[in-house]
Structure 1
Amino acid sequence: MSEKQYLLDKTLERWKGKRVAVGIGSETSFSGILEDFDEEVILLKEVTDYAGNRAKELIVKIDDLNWITLL
Protein backbone atom coordinates (compact mmCIF):
# COMPACT_ATOMS: atom_id res chain seq x y z
CA MET A 1 0.00 0.00 0.00
CA SER A 2 1.40 3.37 -0.97
CA GLU A 3 1.79 6.15 1.58
CA LYS A 4 -0.88 8.17 -0.26
CA GLN A 5 -3.37 5.28 -0.10
CA TYR A 6 -2.53 4.69 3.58
CA LEU A 7 -3.31 8.33 4.43
CA LEU A 8 -6.60 8.19 2.52
CA ASP A 9 -7.66 4.95 4.22
CA LYS A 10 -6.70 6.25 7.67
CA THR A 11 -8.60 9.50 7.15
CA LEU A 12 -11.72 7.88 5.70
CA GLU A 13 -11.78 5.35 8.54
CA ARG A 14 -11.78 8.24 11.02
CA TRP A 15 -14.60 9.99 9.08
CA LYS A 16 -16.87 6.91 8.86
CA GLY A 17 -20.36 7.68 10.17
CA LYS A 18 -19.85 11.45 9.80
CA ARG A 19 -21.24 13.88 7.21
CA VAL A 20 -18.86 14.67 4.36
CA ALA A 21 -19.04 16.66 1.13
CA VAL A 22 -17.51 15.38 -2.10
CA GLY A 23 -16.70 17.08 -5.37
CA ILE A 24 -17.03 15.11 -8.59
CA GLY A 25 -15.93 16.81 -11.77
CA SER A 26 -15.83 20.58 -11.89
CA GLU A 27 -19.46 21.34 -10.99
CA THR A 28 -21.03 18.41 -9.13
CA SER A 29 -20.99 18.17 -5.35
CA PHE A 30 -22.84 16.03 -2.84
CA SER A 31 -23.01 15.72 0.92
CA GLY A 32 -23.90 12.64 2.88
CA ILE A 33 -22.87 10.33 5.68
CA LEU A 34 -19.80 8.27 4.89
CA GLU A 35 -21.08 4.71 5.26
CA ASP A 36 -18.16 2.67 3.92
CA PHE A 37 -15.25 2.62 1.47
CA ASP A 38 -12.66 0.37 -0.15
CA GLU A 39 -9.72 1.09 -2.42
CA GLU A 40 -12.03 1.81 -5.39
CA VAL A 41 -15.25 3.44 -4.13
CA ILE A 42 -16.90 5.30 -1.27
CA LEU A 43 -20.51 4.81 -0.20
CA LEU A 44 -22.53 7.76 1.11
CA LYS A 45 -26.02 7.52 2.63
CA GLU A 46 -28.65 10.24 3.21
CA VAL A 47 -27.25 12.15 0.22
CA THR A 48 -28.07 15.70 -0.88
CA ASP A 49 -26.72 17.39 -3.99
CA TYR A 50 -25.92 21.09 -4.41
CA ALA A 51 -29.46 21.76 -5.73
CA GLY A 52 -31.14 20.13 -2.72
CA ASN A 53 -32.12 16.86 -4.43
CA ARG A 54 -32.01 13.88 -2.10
CA ALA A 55 -31.08 10.22 -2.49
CA LYS A 56 -30.78 7.30 -0.10
CA GLU A 57 -27.28 6.22 -1.22
CA LEU A 58 -24.51 7.18 -3.61
CA ILE A 59 -21.46 5.22 -4.71
CA VAL A 60 -18.53 7.28 -6.04
CA LYS A 61 -15.33 5.96 -7.60
CA ILE A 62 -12.39 7.34 -5.64
CA ASP A 63 -10.58 8.10 -8.91
CA ASP A 64 -13.47 10.46 -9.84
CA LEU A 65 -13.23 12.53 -6.64
CA ASN A 66 -11.70 16.00 -6.86
CA TRP A 67 -12.04 16.62 -3.13
CA ILE A 68 -13.70 15.37 0.04
CA THR A 69 -14.26 17.39 3.20
CA LEU A 70 -15.53 16.60 6.67
CA LEU A 71 -18.54 18.75 7.51
Structure 2
Amino acid sequence: MGEKQYLLDRTLETWKGKRVAIAVSNEHSFTGILEDFDEEVILLRDVVDIAGNRAKELLVKIDDLNWIMLL
Protein backbone atom coordinates (compact mmCIF):
# COMPACT_ATOMS: atom_id res chain seq x y z
CA MET A 1 0.00 0.00 0.00
CA GLY A 2 2.92 2.36 0.62
CA GLU A 3 3.85 2.72 -3.05
CA LYS A 4 0.19 3.11 -4.07
CA GLN A 5 -0.35 5.85 -1.48
CA TYR A 6 2.90 7.52 -2.53
CA LEU A 7 1.76 7.66 -6.17
CA LEU A 8 -1.63 9.04 -5.13
CA ASP A 9 -0.06 11.70 -2.91
CA ARG A 10 2.48 12.70 -5.54
CA THR A 11 -0.17 12.94 -8.27
CA LEU A 12 -2.72 14.85 -6.18
CA GLU A 13 -0.04 17.29 -5.06
CA THR A 14 0.66 18.24 -8.69
CA TRP A 15 -3.09 18.57 -9.35
CA LYS A 16 -3.77 20.96 -6.43
CA GLY A 17 -5.46 24.13 -7.62
CA LYS A 18 -6.52 22.53 -10.91
CA ARG A 19 -9.96 21.37 -12.08
CA VAL A 20 -10.60 17.65 -11.71
CA ALA A 21 -13.51 15.28 -12.31
CA ILE A 22 -14.37 12.53 -9.83
CA ALA A 23 -16.78 9.61 -9.63
CA VAL A 24 -18.09 8.74 -6.18
CA SER A 25 -19.45 5.25 -5.41
CA ASN A 26 -20.24 4.59 -9.10
CA GLU A 27 -23.30 6.83 -8.81
CA HIS A 28 -22.30 10.49 -8.76
CA SER A 29 -19.89 12.54 -10.85
CA PHE A 30 -18.55 15.95 -9.94
CA THR A 31 -16.06 18.49 -11.22
CA GLY A 32 -14.27 21.00 -9.06
CA ILE A 33 -10.95 22.52 -8.15
CA LEU A 34 -8.79 20.27 -5.99
CA GLU A 35 -8.29 22.36 -2.87
CA ASP A 36 -6.58 19.89 -0.53
CA PHE A 37 -6.27 16.22 0.44
CA ASP A 38 -4.87 13.88 3.05
CA GLU A 39 -4.69 10.10 3.36
CA GLU A 40 -8.45 9.89 4.02
CA VAL A 41 -10.29 12.65 2.12
CA ILE A 42 -10.10 15.11 -0.75
CA LEU A 43 -11.60 18.60 -0.70
CA LEU A 44 -12.94 20.20 -3.88
CA ARG A 45 -14.13 23.80 -4.24
CA ASP A 46 -16.39 25.40 -6.86
CA VAL A 47 -18.11 22.05 -7.39
CA VAL A 48 -20.58 21.17 -10.15
CA ASP A 49 -22.40 17.82 -10.40
CA ILE A 50 -23.55 16.05 -13.56
CA ALA A 51 -26.97 17.78 -13.39
CA GLY A 52 -25.41 21.25 -13.13
CA ASN A 53 -26.03 21.74 -9.40
CA ARG A 54 -23.35 23.89 -7.78
CA ALA A 55 -21.74 23.85 -4.35
CA LYS A 56 -18.95 25.83 -2.72
CA GLU A 57 -17.12 22.75 -1.39
CA LEU A 58 -17.28 18.97 -1.39
CA LEU A 59 -15.44 16.63 0.97
CA VAL A 60 -15.12 13.01 -0.25
CA LYS A 61 -13.53 9.96 1.37
CA ILE A 62 -10.77 8.62 -0.86
CA ASP A 63 -12.10 5.08 -0.29
CA ASP A 64 -15.39 6.15 -1.95
CA LEU A 65 -13.69 7.40 -5.15
CA ASN A 66 -13.91 5.22 -8.24
CA TRP A 67 -11.71 7.49 -10.33
CA ILE A 68 -10.31 11.00 -10.51
CA MET A 69 -9.02 12.75 -13.61
CA LEU A 70 -7.35 16.04 -14.37
CA LEU A 71 -9.39 18.24 -16.71
Q: Same fold (TM over 0.5)?
A: yes
The Cα shift of 1:27 comes to 2.1
Structure-2 separation of matches of 1:69 and 1:29: 11
Give ranges in structure 1 of 5+ residues lacking alignment. none
The residue aligned with 1:45 is 45
Percent identical among aligned pairs is: 77
* Residues 15-51 of structure 1: per-residue CA shift (max 9 Å, x gap): 0000000000122000000000000000000000000
The residue aligned with 2:65 is 65
Q: Which amino acid aligns with 1:11?
A: T
The residue aligned with 2:19 is 19
TM-score by length of 2: 0.97
TM-score by length of 1: 0.97
The residue aligned with 1:3 is 3
Give ranges in structure 2 of 5+ residues lacking alignment. none
Aligned residue pairs: how many?
Answer: 71
Q: Which amino acid aligns with 1:12?
A: L
Secondary structure of the 1:47 match is strand
The residue aligned with 1:35 is 35
